[in-house]
Amino acid sequence: MELVYILDILGTLAFAISGALVASDQKLDLFGVIIIAFVTAVGGGMLRDVLINAHPINWIGDLNYLYVIFIAVLLTFLFKSKILPLSKTLFLFDTVGISVFTLLGLQKGLNFDLHPLIALIMGMISAVFGGVLRDVLTNKIPLIFEKEIYASACLAGGITYLLLKKTPITDNLNFIVSASVIITIRLIAVKFNLELPKVKDDIFGK
């Protein structure tokens, strides 16, 4: 699917820019910014491919990922003050990227004959682990562990995809519907500032 590849690349661009912005706020040097942009953008898919033994792994098998990351760092380096006001556009790219990463990761898992549950996890790793690595390398508790609901959005979208796969609808339509589920949940969650429950208290209220 050509369109999916373009969305994958746009998502990679958004992830890389978000990584570069975080890194530059931390006063890392140019090399540090490139590494953080890199792990943010391709870290999730890289971990997935290492875990399922899919060689060559994502960015080794397709150089376009690297080129997009270099472009992202260059844009951030040159136009940081122009990019920041675009945060809504970036957020949209990022949300589309997450949905595409989740579903492509899930599909790759299924293509490797993994159990649907494992494939679902691979989809989620693809979508969220780049951000986790970014936060570990910049020495913060991963954001996603604290208040981001977007892992749940990926989960819901992935489950939708697996369920619809058992129906007669085409794979392309399934992809679009499931991606819409992820995008919709994330947009609603951010708009209404939703959070997942914490394990502070148990059902006995203690």
Per the structure block, which two tokens stand in for 81?
Answer: 């003050």
- Cα–Cα distance between 14 and 106 in angstroms, integer? 20
Nearest Cα to 54, choosing from 116, 3, 105, 118?
A: 105
Smallest gap, in angstroms, from Cβ of residue 184 to a second copy?
Answer: 18
Toward a second copy, which CB reaches closer, 11 or 134? Answer: 134
CB 128 → a second copy: shortest distance, Å? Answer: 9
Nearer to a second copy among residue 103 and residue 154 (C-beta)? 154
DSSP-derived secondary structure letter, 14: H
Q: How far is the CB of 53 from a second copy (least distance, A)?
A: 4
Measured torsion, CA atoms of residues 159, 163, 164, 168, in degrees rounded to the nearest 10:
160
Tokens encoding 10? 């746009």
At its nearest, how many Å lie between a second copy and the CB of residue 189?
Answer: 12
Q: Minimum distance between the CB of residue 106 and a second copy, rounded to whole angstroms?
A: 14
Q: Rank residues 2 and 29 by Cβ distance to a second copy and give the closer one.
A: 29
Compute the distance between CA of residue 146 and CA of residue 157 in angstroms, rounded to an integer: 21
Residues that bind a second copy (CB under 8 A): 20, 23-24, 26-33, 35-36, 46, 50-53, 55-57, 60, 63, 66, 76-82, 114-115, 117-118, 121, 132, 136-142, 144-147, 149, 151-152, 195-204, 206
Residue nearer to a second copy on the CB measure, 51 or 92: 51
Residue-wise DSSP of 84-153:
GGGHHHHHHHHHHHHHHHHHHHHHHHHHTT--HHHHHHHHHHHHHHHHHHHHHHTTS--GGGTT--HHHH
Please, what is the minimum distance in Å from the beta carbon of residue 99 to a second copy?
17
**Secondary structure of 131-143 as H, E, C letters:** HHHHHHHCCCCCH
- Of the pair 70, 177, the CB lying nearest a second copy is at 70
Nearer to a second copy, 7 or 21 (CB): 21
